[in-house]
């Protein structure tokens, strides 16, 4: 039997052989492993644990929402190329576009509510379209291009697509700004999929070259230099890719492989819940917006608004509603943030509305340890749509 397994074992001749394989025991071990692996994917252990960790059994509930590929990015930022391809033809092209974060495509329910008892909720973008139709009789095609935690650099990224690629670009564009967005950075892989559209890739290259002094420029450069837009598995372009794909196809026979996305989401959810419950760092904890992420987002916002306006669209920026029950900001940074986003609208002459207090406290969700800072209920969507209509309605109608 081997004695030492480290580098010092180099001189041990037994390590290179000498003992016969214990076939039966090894087979038993392999069988046990495969057996356990077969059942591993059928029980969501992390999800179960996360549930146990939530506050006195109060569970976050989300209502189903009305979404369609023609009016919403149903990938929620995971694959913009595929999502936008569905609305690229002039006859499907949206007239109005909404760019924002998860507030735009989720609807919260009260804690422990049974989601199946509720009909799917309508979202702000659809409610706004319905309001315009009700008031004017005109049917306006909105497209909701919201993604979770979307930052303004990503908003600029997709903004370049909307302004430069479709033959019929949107005529009105609503951009959501949120304090929380300004702490985020980077461009996710799902957004980078757009690079596989040669037209978009060319425009992004031109944009990156012309804006190399802006704070977000390195983020653009890192995407355009790399093949970050390539999906993890590419379909059948070479023998190597075909083999990898075939093996992954075969792996779907295992429940754990089939359910790996869900299992991963549950594990990340468990880690997040543990952070909230054990470390006391919750989504409502006060946070700074400063440094590089803030500078990148401010520059991206300024350039986004200028570019969209120059493309001929009417652009509307609003500061997103915040749950009145939470205080996430440092007052001085919050003031500076509000001043900065309002100032960003001046030069390109786009309209700005501060809707921070537009949604009352009872139209917000509940999240793990208390009030949800980002997500609103179906009633909240109605309120927000109404506030947007009030703030921008006449100008929107004119633009459309």
Partner 1 sequence: MLFTSYTYLVFLVLAVLVIRLTRGIAREYVLLAASLVFYAWWDVRFLVVLLGLGAFTYMAGRGIARHRGRPRALILPIAAILLVLGVFKYTGLLVDLINLMRPADSLWSLPGIILPLGISFYTFECVSYLIDVYKGGEELQPLRRFLLFPAFWPHMVAGPILRLKEFAPQLSALGPVTAASTLYGVDRVLAGLVKKLVIANALAEFVDRGFAGDVSQVSGLDSWVLALAFGLQIYFDFSAYTDIAIGSARLVGFVFPENFNLPYHATSPSEFWNRWHMTLSRWIRDYVFFPLNLKAGRRIWLRHAYLVFTMALVGLWHGAGLTFVLWGVWHGVLMVTHRLCQPVGRRLPAFVGSVWGGIGFVATVALVNAGWVLFRATSVSQAFELFGEMFTLQNLTPAYGVNDYLTCLGAIAAYLVAEPLLKKLWDRNPDVTGISELSYWLRPAFYVVALTLTMMFDTTSTAFIYFQF
Count of Cβ atoms closer than 10 Å to residue 116 Cβ: 6
Q: Using the rule CB under 8 A, is 292 a contact of partner 1?
A: yes
Selected from 49, 267, 306, 342, the binder of partner 1 by CB under 8 A is 267
Q: Using the rule CB under 8 A, is 291 a contact of partner 1?
A: yes
Q: How many residues bind partner 1 (CB under 8 A)?
A: 90
- Segment contacting partner 1 by CB under 8 A, of 1-9, 90-98, 308-316, 317-325: 1-9
DSSP run (H or E) holding 303? helix 291-310
Q: For the chain, percent helix, then strand, then coil, each to nearest 5? A: 50, 10, 35
Name which of residues 359 to 388 contact partner 1 (CB under 8 A). Answer: 367, 373-374
CA dist 394 and 383 (Å) reads 18
Name which of residues 300 to 359 contact partner 1 (CB under 8 A). Answer: none
Name which of residues 100 to 119 contact partner 1 (CB under 8 A). Answer: 102, 106
Selected from 59, 138, 139, 275, the binder of partner 1 by CB under 8 A is 275
- Dihedral-angle region of residue 48 (phi above 0 means left; psi in -120 to 50 means alpha; beta otherwise): alpha
Helix (H, G, I), strand (E, B) or coil at 173: strand
- Segment contacting partner 1 by CB under 8 A, of 114-122, 246-254, 300-308, 377-385: 246-254
Paired with 172 in beta bridges are 96, 314
Rounded to 5 degrees, φ, ψ at 78 are -80, -25
CB of 278 to partner 1, least distance (A): 11
CA-wise closest residue to 365 among 356, 353, 357, 377? 377
Paired with 130 in beta bridges are none
CA dist 242 and 258 (Å) reads 19
CA-wise closest residue to 105 among 132, 68, 138? 68
Q: Using the rule CB under 8 A, is 264 a contact of partner 1?
A: yes
x-marked contacts with partner 1 along 18-47 as a string, rule CB under 8 A = xxxxx--xx-xx--xx-xxx--xx------
CB of 399 to partner 1, least distance (A): 32
Q: Using the rule CB under 8 A, is 294 a contact of partner 1?
A: yes
CB of 243 to partner 1, least distance (A): 5
CB of 261 to partner 1, least distance (A): 5
Q: Which two tokens stand for residue 195?
A: 């690079």
DSSP run (H or E) holding 375? strand 370-376
x-marked contacts with partner 1 along 196-225 as a string, rule CB under 8 A = -------------------xxxxx-xx---
User: Residue 368 to residues 62, 150, 280, 284: CA-CA distances in angstroms?
Assistant: 12, 22, 11, 11
Query: Is 179 or 352 the residue whose CB approaches partner 1 more closely?
Result: 179
- Dihedral-angle region of residue 57 (phi above 0 means left; psi in -120 to 50 means alpha; beta otherwise): left
CB of 207 to partner 1, least distance (A): 16
Query: Is 38 or 346 the residue whose CB approaches partner 1 more closely?
Result: 38
x-marked contacts with partner 1 along 129-168 as a string, rule CB under 8 A = -------------------xx-------------------
CB of 269 to partner 1, least distance (A): 6
CB of 328 to partner 1, least distance (A): 10
CB of 394 to partner 1, least distance (A): 35
DSSP run (H or E) holding 268? helix 260-274
């Amino acid at each position: 039997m081997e004695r030492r397994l480290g580098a010092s074992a180099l001189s041990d001749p037994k390590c290179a052989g000498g003992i016969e394989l214990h076939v039966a025991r090894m087979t038993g071990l392999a069988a046990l492993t495969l057996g356990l692996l077969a059942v591993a994917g059928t029980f969501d252990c992390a999800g179960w644990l996360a549930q146990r960790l939530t506050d006195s059994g109060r569970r976050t509930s989300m209502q189903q929402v009305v979404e369609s590929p023609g009016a919403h990015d149903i990938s929620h930022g995971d694959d913009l190329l595929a999502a936008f391809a569905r609305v690229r033809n002039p006859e499907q092209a949206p007239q109005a576009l909404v760019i924002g974060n998860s507030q735009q495509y989720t609807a919260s329910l009260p804690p422990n509510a049974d989601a199946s008892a509720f009909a799917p909720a309508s979202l702000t973008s659809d409610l706004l379209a319905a309001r315009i139709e009700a008031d004017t009789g005109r049917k306006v095609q909105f497209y909701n291009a919201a993604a979770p935690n979307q930052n303004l650099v990503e908003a600029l990224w997709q903004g370049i697509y909307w302004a430069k690629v479709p033959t019929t670009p949107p005529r009105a564009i609503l951009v959501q700004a949120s304090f929380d967005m300004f702490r985020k950075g980077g461009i996710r892989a799902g957004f980078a999929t757009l690079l596989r559209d040669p037209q978009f890739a060319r425009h992004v290259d031109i944009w990156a070259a012309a804006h190399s002094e802006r704070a977000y420029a390195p983020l653009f450069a890192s995407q355009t230099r790399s093949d970050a837009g390539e999906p993890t598995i590419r379909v059948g372009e070479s023998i190597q890719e075909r083999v990898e794909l075939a093996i992954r196809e075969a792996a779907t026979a295992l429940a754990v492989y089939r359910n790996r996305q869900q299992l991963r989401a549950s594990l990340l959810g468990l880690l997040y819940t543990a952070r909230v419950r054990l470390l006391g760092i919750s989504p409502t904890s006060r946070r700074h917006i400063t440094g590089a992420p803030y500078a990148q987002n401010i520059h991206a916002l300024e350039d986004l608004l200028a570019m969209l306006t120059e493309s001929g669209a009417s652009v509307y920026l609003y500061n997103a509603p915040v749950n009145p029950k939470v205080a996430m900001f440092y007052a001085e940074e919050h003031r500076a943030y509000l001043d900065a986003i309002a100032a960003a609208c001046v030069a390109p002459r786009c309209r700005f509305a501060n809707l921070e207090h537009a949604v009352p406290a009872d139209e917000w969700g509940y999240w793990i340890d208390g009030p949800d800072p980002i997500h609103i209920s179906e009633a909240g969507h109605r309120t927000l749509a109404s506030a947007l209509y009030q703030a921008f309605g006449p100008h929107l109608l004119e633009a459309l």
